[in-house]
Structure 1
């Protein structure tokens, strides 16, 4: 009987140890997935603001240059002055 009881106790201890290992792996995997999701949201949020600013900058400066070139100017200095006036608000920021 001693052999059967000892084997039973070892079996129960082994099953509890395996259960604890599986629960621990589940917790680690869950925390990794949560951290990855949070990092992806942070990257998406912060990058979107930068992209919108870049697009508005391209539109504003591109529009200023387009309208500076739209009229026929008598000199390069006049054209340069109009481009500088149109982009001055973006340069100061």
Structure 2
């Protein structure tokens, strides 16, 4: 029983750590303008993205995992993380605010 409780506590701690890490990774905010699920792209009107040295603008991003697009819809305010992968601005994580 003690081992089970220790395991549950460990899993809970890991989940909290992962959640905090994701919150830090989602370092940009924007509004979903358009979703192009067929091509795995999303258009965002976003604020500055410091790691990409981008000012606020509207930009089309590729998504690293097209299944992320099912979590959002046009008009949603979102937090996201983006990187430049193979020369393309790519969303690596996204969630509605």
Q: Which structure has greater helix proportion?
A: 1
Q: Which has the larger radius of gyration?
A: 1
| Same fold, TM-score > 0.5, yes or no | no
Q: Which structure has greater strand proportion?
A: 2
TM interval, short-chain normalised: 0.3 to 0.5
| TM-score normalised according to structure 2 size | 0.35
Higher RCO (CA-CA < 8 Å; seq separation 6+):
2
| TM-score normalised according to structure 1 size | 0.36
